[in-house]
Each structure stands twice: as C-alpha cells, then as structure tokens.
C-alpha cells in the first residue's frame, strides 16, 4: 500500500474556545497547532482562519499571513486552505484564498443541512465556478463529499470537463445533515469512486478514529483535527491537534502503514 497521508484540520470555522481551549484563533495559535500536527506526522494542513476573537473569515490577507507564518515553522508542509469557509459566506468571499500561491485547496461538492437552521450551500453552478477558478490557478482540489450524491455530482462534472483526473476525494462523514460515519457508509463511498482516484476520510465526532482505522486498512488516507473532533478518547478533550495526529500515527504503525512526508504526499497526489 501507498504511504499514509495525514491531513490535520487544525481550526475549522465552527468549534470555539467554549468547546475546547485548544482551538486556535490567532495567527500565533494557528502556527502552534500547525507545528504540533506537522511534527507529529501531518503532511497537509487543512486551513481555516479566524479573526483574533474567533470569527471565521476568508480574508485573503489573513490567509496570506497565516500561510507565511506556518511556512516559517513547517517549510515543506502542504497547506490546503478551505474554500468552504463558514455557512452563510458568499462564493466570492470563500474563493479568496485561491488568489494566493497555494498548492491545494478544498472544493465542496454539494449542499447539505449543517445542523439546526444552517445550510451549507454548494449548488451545481457554485461547484462549476469554484472548479474553474481552482484549475485555472493550477491548484489541486481536494473534492469534499459529505454524502454519496456529491460523488455522483463530481462524476457528472468530470464528464462535462469541469473536474480533471486524477481526482482526490475527502469523505467528510458524520456531519449533522450529511451521511453518517458508520463503516458501511465509508465502504459504500469508497466503492463508488472513479477508478484511479485517491481518497482521505474525515470522521466527525466519535467516528473520527474508527474511520481513520478503516481508511488505513483500505489503502485510503486520513484527516483528523479539532475542526472535526475535539476528543482524544470518549469524554477526554484532546490537548492539541498534534495529539490527534499522534494517535493516527500509532494506528498506522500497528497496521503496518508508513507515514508519508509532505514530498511523498505531493507525489501520491500528483502535485507539482
Ligand atoms: N465550515 C464548513 C461549513 C471546507 O473546509 O471546505 C465547511 C468546511 C468545508 O469546513
Ligand atoms: Zn474545513
């Protein structure tokens, strides 16, 4: 099997310091969390940025500041800004980080309920617009799919030429409004992928580590981080993103998967 690419989703847009003190808001806190994750074995940092008070933002300037500061501490890490941002942001707001010199970013592949009255909107035309901008800039998209219909949308858009092979997917499972994070959900999505695709799995909440283990065994890659799950085990808060990454590294070791460096991840994903 290929080496395992670990992505750390260190920040997100929804988790606050009321949930866990470890969630980073400021640039210094973001760098601290990125460094701990990188030193533990993460090849990719999935990046959201916040104002110092925790408000999510897609400001190009804030992303540029965070990326520069992370690169000083983790020079070779792959930084993957979010183009999902937070619920309610416009497409123009969300696309700002694609104007920077970046290797990768997310591309969200469908709309879903996001808890309570929230709807995370990604219409077909939004996805086409995002894909056009992302590919035009030579950026590798991570195709975020929250349920099977999103994979079907990617297949349709690939046929129409909006999405190119080789495709790299991320299944984000267990969102309140998306597909659940049971083993059979993961296996169904994995078996639905176009041939030759790579994939990573992000289990939200309690599904984070069971799905990480499943993906390690099935030849996929893994995303963990405080964006998705704040517990290191039932009822015990993780002290950092690094601690979550360390747990994946232990699982990988037990199952005989080696961990990919950022450069090895670039080769696996066809970046650069
Ligand atoms: N914060 C969610 C509404 C992404 O990063 O591309 C969207 C999200 C997806 O986190
Ligand atoms: Zn995200």
Residue of 9, 12, 54 to mutate, ligand 1, most atoms within 8 A of C-beta: 12
Distance 86 CA to ligand 1 centre (A): 6
pLDDT tops 90 at residue 227: yes
Give yes or no for residue 142 CB within 6 A of ligand 1: no
pLDDT at position 272, please?
Answer: 83
* Mean pLDDT rounded to a whole number for the chain: 98
- Cβ proximity of 60 and 98 under 8 Å: no
pLDDT at position 90, please?
Answer: 98
Q: Residues 40-87: pLDDT tens digits?
A: 999 999 999 999 999 999 999 999 999 999 999 999 999 999 999 999
Among protein residues, the one with the nearest Cα to ligand 1's atom 10 is 84
Query: Percent of the chain at pLDDT above 70?
Result: 100
Distance 214 CA to ligand 1 centre (A): 23
In this prediction, residues 9-22 reach a mean pLDDT of: 98
CA–CA distance from 177 to each of 88, 117, 185, 201, 207 (Å)? 16, 11, 14, 17, 15
pLDDT at position 44, please?
Answer: 99
In this prediction, residues 151-158 reach a mean pLDDT of: 98
> Could you give phi then psi for residue 252, rounded to 5 degrees?
-60, -40
In 3-state terms, the chain is what percent helix, strand and coil (to 5)? 40, 20, 40
- Look at residues 4, 82, 74 and name the one whose alpha carbon lies nearest to residue 33: 74
Residue 237 DSSP one-character state: E
- Look at residues 85, 98, 109 and name the one whose alpha carbon lies nearest to residue 168: 109
Parallel, antiparallel, or unpaired for β 168-173 and 198-203? parallel
In this prediction, residues 255-270 reach a mean pLDDT of: 98
Give yes or no for residue 199 CB within 6 A of ligand 1: no
pLDDT at position 70, please?
Answer: 98
Angle 178-180-181 from CA coordinates, rounded to 5°: 125
Q: Left, alpha or beta for 39 (phi > 0: left; psi -120 to 50: alpha)?
A: alpha
Q: Residues 94-112: pLDDT tens digits?
A: 999 999 999 999 999 999 9
Whole-model pTM: value is: 0.98
Q: Residues 16-43: pLDDT tens digits?
A: 999 999 999 999 999 999 999 999 999 9
pLDDT band at 215 (very low <50, low <70, confident <90, very high): very high
pLDDT at position 126, please?
Answer: 98
pLDDT at position 153, please?
Answer: 98
How far is Cα 128 from Cα 146, in angstroms, rounded to an integer? Answer: 17
Q: Residues 165-197: pLDDT tens digits?
A: 999 999 999 999 999 999 999 999 999 999 999
Among protein residues, the one with the nearest Cα to ligand 1's atom 6 is 84
In this prediction, residues 187-216 reach a mean pLDDT of: 98
């Amino acid at each position: 099997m290929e080496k395992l690419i670990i992505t750390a989703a260190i920040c997100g847009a929804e988790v606050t310091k009321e949930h866990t003190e470890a969630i980073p808001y400021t640039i210094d806190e973001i760098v601290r969390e990125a460094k701990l994750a990188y030193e533990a074995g993460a090849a990719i940092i999935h990046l959201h940025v916040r104002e110092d008070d925790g408000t999510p933002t897609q400001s190009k300037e804030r992303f540029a500041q965070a990326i520069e500061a992370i690169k000083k501490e983790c020079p070779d890490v792959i930084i993957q800004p979010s183009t999902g941002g937070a619920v309610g942001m416009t497409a123009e707001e969300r696309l700002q980080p694609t104007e920077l010199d970046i290797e990768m970013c997310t591309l969200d592949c469908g709309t879903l309920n996001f808890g309570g009255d929230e709807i995370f909107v990604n219409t077909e035309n939004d996805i086409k617009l995002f894909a056009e901008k992302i590919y035009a800039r030579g950026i590798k998209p991570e195709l975020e799919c929250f349920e099977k219909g999103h994979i079907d949308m990617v297949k349709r858009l690939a046929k129409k030429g909006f999405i190119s092979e080789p495709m790299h997917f991320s299944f984000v499972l267990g969102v309140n409004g998306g597909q659940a994070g049971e083993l059979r959900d993961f296996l169904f999505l994995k078996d639905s992928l176009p041939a030759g695709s790579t994939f990573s799995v992000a289990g939200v909440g309690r599904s984070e580590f069971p799905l990480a283990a499943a993906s390690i065994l099935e030849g996929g890659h893994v995303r963990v981080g405080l964006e998705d799950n704040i517990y290191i085990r039932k009822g015990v808060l993780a002290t950092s993103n690094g601690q979550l990454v360390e747990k994946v590294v232990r699982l990988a070791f037990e199952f005989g998967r080696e961990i990919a460096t950022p450069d090895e991840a670039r080769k696996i994903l066809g970046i650069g």
